Every structure is written in C-alpha cells, then in structure tokens.
Chains A and B, each alone.
Chain A
Amino acid sequence: AQTVTQSQPEMSVQEAETVTLSCTYDTSENNYYLFWYKQPPSRQMILVIRQEAYKQQNATENRFSVNFQKAAKSFSLKISDSQLGDTAMYFCAFFRIQGAQKLVFGQGTRLTINP
C-alpha cells in the first residue's frame, strides 16, 4: 500500500519569506500523480499544485513550486514571498493510476505566516 509522510507537523515563517514543506512517499508504481492541497481555517480543501510522475519538469503555479525527486520519492512544496493568506494546513497526496484509484493523503503540515 502507498504511504505518504509529511515529517513537519508545524512550521512558522515571517511574511514575505520563502518556506519549503517536505513530503515523501512510498510506492512501487512508476506512473502516478502527486498533489498538494491547502486547507485554511474554513476547512475547504483547495488544490495548490499537481505533478505527473512522468514529467521531469517541476510544476509551478505562481508563488508555488515543487521539487519532485522521483528516485528519492520526494515531493516538496516551496512557497515564495509568503502571504498571510497562506496560513493553512497543507496536505501532500498520492494518486495511483493502476488499480484502486484513490488519493492517499499525508498527515499534513500546519503552516503559519506571521506578520
């Protein structure tokens, strides 16, 4: 079974700083998808960024980018120029293409952006 590990339960940075959230996963699959979701205090789950495993290029969405290291099974999220609105829980998720097609989530990292 796939597992997703987020080793940082909590992080805190100052506004405008850059922060990197870690995620590792365990799988024997070669093709899969990886996601980062954000959950602000409203509890809404919001997609931040998505990466296809067959793509070597790291995904980027405005201030959000990933460092995808397939061999190391690592998928970190970098937030540049952090803003107060980035304060949220961040979940890394793995999606297996073959067989049972479901998202497997990590335990989350609580990120606080301080003014």
Chain B
Amino acid sequence: KAGVTQTPRYLIKTRGQQVTLSCSPISGHRSVSWYQQTPGQGLQFLFEYFSETQRNKGNFPGRFSGRQFSNSRSEMNVSTLELGDSALYLCASSQGLVISYEQYFGPGTRLTVT
C-alpha cells in the first residue's frame, strides 16, 4: 500500500506570493491533517479535514487555508507569504479519529520563503 504522498517536496517562493501544497492520503483514509514544523515553534497543528469537512483548526492566521476533495486528497494554501512561513509542512492521514486510528505522516514539503 502506498504511503502518504506530498507534492512538491521542495518549494522556494518570494514574500507576498501564495503557495499551494498537495497531499494524497493512503487509500481508504478519509482524515487528513496538516502540521507546520519550524525550528523555533516546533510542530504545530494547522487543520484537519474529514470527508471534505474541516473538523479541527489550529491557531494560524486566515492566510492559511485548506480543503479536501471527494477522493480525500487535500490541499493547503498560504497566501501573502511571509519569511516566517518557511517551514516543513507535514501531512498525515488516518482512517478516522487519531484516538482510534493510527496517523501516517508524509515526508513533508519544505517551503522556503525569500
């Protein structure tokens, strides 16, 4: 069974631009969560989608948004990029709630904002 796929793996953007990251979950998984990982703030929860609905949201500004499609693939978008958005963005998928099902992480997308 293929794992969680994230594209692209690396991305360089300029301040003020916007970016879209993609996540393809493991087949059959309906829940997709996104995390931001930085050296300063560590791992922070962005949001979780289940069956195309946002179920949980972290404490990030509105510039960070996401969506999930009917095939469970998910995208996250960051508008008006800031230098501080440089991070590793991790996507994780599971069959359902984390307290009931294991969450599998992708390798991440490394975003660099210059």
Mutual binders A and B: no
